[in-house]
């Protein structure tokens, strides 16, 4: 069987993304073959393309999609041919019509959730899930607590705004324009700071009456991590989970002492999804908030698979908001 796919032969800019035809075989033990209906675009795809996260070449990109299972390999019991399914999964390879892949991180998609929503929400929604539910200060988070969430109008950001509100948390977002700040507020952020204009650490202190937040969720990295430390109350937690502006340089641990016995972590979704059981438990939590309407998945951009270069350009130029999908007609 043949499939269209997007592949790179070497690391570089969006121009390295090439539309090719690949051969797709039968699933082996623990694998499935899935025909995609929509594919999710994620910032991590740009790190894999540029080489910030190294992989062997050639590399078929993409970590998130939804579609219909066509065949299952030996030992796969949670899926069968004909099932609607969605996933956030390693290894990369989701930018295609059809693929064979490990079944472990693939979940049945509830009938009430469309393929497009499934493709947009798995990687970003499961990330919001483990951040807000499992990446916590020692005393946990209680309703009424303030948290800081950078890039609040992005894909992970707009899901986190809604989910935090549903948990009773007061999310202080940051975003690069006033229009993006308004979008974050419309999705449940209690406050949103335009960090290209205002000093966000100072504003966070004002908003919290000088106390600071218990957790700062920082996916922007290089440009923000030090300011994020200044937003924390004593014993607060900085969770750096991305490199939007570049990776955080080696850290002087003494800073954590002088700024109030702080904690710092660098989590990744795939540690949380190490087992089939943990993946399903997280997905069930996400499916529940999407189905009860607490979290709506904002698909703000759609690109044809063949236009993936433009999709990467727009994502890296901060032109997108919410989630982006690649369509396969
Ligand atoms: N560790 C994990 O488990 C995990 C999982 C998923 C995602 N992530 C990370 O979470 C972040 C959000 O992912 P996403 O796919 O939803 O992307 P996104 O938030 O939709 O896009 C990234 C946003 O980062 C902000 N940004 C700030 N400085 C930037 C710069 N110099 N260049 C480009 N963007 C900049 C931009 O928003 P403003 O214009 O508003 O600043 C931009 O829209 C990414 O850093 C991603 O790597 C981590």
Q: What is the pLDDT along the chain (329 residues), one digit of tens a residue?
A: 999 999 999 999 999 999 999 999 999 999 999 999 999 999 999 999 999 999 999 999 999 999 999 999 999 999 999 999 999 999 999 999 999 999 999 999 999 999 999 999 999 999 999 999 999 998 999 999 999 999 999 999 999 999 999 999 999 999 999 999 999 999 999 999 999 999 999 999 999 999 999 999 999 999 999 999 999 999 999 999 999 999 999 999 999 999 999 999 999 999 999 999 999 999 999 999 999 999 999 999 999 999 999 999 999 999 999 999 999 98
- Name the pTM for this structure: 0.98
The 10 Å Cβ neighbour count of residue 213 is 28
Cis omega (within 30 of 0) for bond into 91: yes
- Angle of the 155-166 helix axis to the 178-186 helix axis, nearest 10: 40
Neighbouring residues of 87: CB distance < 8 A, sequence distance ≥ 6: 64, 65, 66, 94, 101, 105, 106, 107, 122
The encoded tokens of residue 268 equal 């990744």
Indicate the top mutation candidate among 126, 156, 174, 321 to test ligand 1's pocket, ranked by most ligand atoms within 8 A of CB.
156
Q: Strand, helix or coil at 276?
A: helix
Which domains, ranges and CATH numbers included, belong to the chain?
Answer: 2-124+270-327 (3.90.180.10), 136-266 (3.40.50.720)
Closest ligand 1 atom, residue 44 Cα:
47
User: CA torsion sign, 61 to 66 to 67 to 69?
Assistant: positive
CB of 93 sitting under 6 A from ligand 1: no
* Closest-CA residue to 174 (of 146, 153, 155): 153
Residue 23 and residue 5: Cα distance in Å, rounded? 10
Phi, psi values for residue 84, rounded to 5°: -75, 140
CB of 268 sitting under 6 A from ligand 1: yes
Residue 138 and residue 73: Cα distance in Å, rounded? 42
């Amino acid at each position: 069987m043949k499939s269209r796919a997007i592949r790179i032969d070497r690391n570089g800019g969006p121009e390295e993304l090439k539309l090719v035809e690949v051969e797709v075989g039968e699933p082996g033990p623990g694998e499935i073959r899935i025909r995609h209906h929509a594919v999710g675009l994620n910032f991590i795809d740009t790190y894999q393309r540029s080489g910030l996260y190294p992989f062997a070449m050639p590399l078929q990109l993409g970590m998130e999609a939804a579609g219909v299972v066509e065949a299952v390999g030996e030992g796969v019991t949670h899926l069968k041919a004909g099932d609607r399914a969605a996933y956030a999964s390693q290894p990369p390879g989701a930018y295609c019509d059809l693929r064979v892949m490990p079944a472990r991180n693939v979940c049945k998609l509830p009938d009430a959730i469309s393929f497009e929503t499934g493709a947009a929400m798995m990687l970003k929604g499961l990330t919001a899930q483990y951040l807000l539910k499992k990446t916590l200060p020692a005393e946990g988070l209680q309703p009424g607590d303030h948290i800081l969430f950078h890039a609040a109008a992005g894909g992970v950001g707009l899901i986190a705004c809604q989910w935090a509100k549903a948990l009773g948390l007061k999310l202080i977002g940051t975003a690069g324009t006033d229009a993006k700040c308004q979008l974050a507020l419309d999705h449940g952020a209690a406050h949103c700071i335009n960090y290209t204009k205002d000093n966000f650490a100072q504003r966070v202190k004002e908003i919290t009456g000088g106390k600071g937040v218990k957790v700062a969720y920082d996916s922007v990295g290089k440009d923000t991590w030090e300011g994020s430390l200044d937003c924390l109350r004593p014993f607060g937690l900085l969770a750096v989970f991305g490199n939007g502006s570049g990776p955080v340089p080696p850290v002087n641990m003494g800073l954590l002492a002088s700024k109030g016995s702080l904690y710092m972590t660098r989590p990744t979704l795939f540690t949380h999804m190490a087992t089939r059981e943990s993946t399903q438990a997280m997905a069930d939590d996400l499916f529940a908030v999407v189905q009860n309407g607490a979290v709506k998945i904002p698909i703000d951009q759609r690109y044809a698979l063949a236009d993936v270069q433009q999709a990467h350009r727009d994502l890296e130029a901060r032109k997108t908001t919410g989630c982006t999908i690649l369509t396969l007609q």
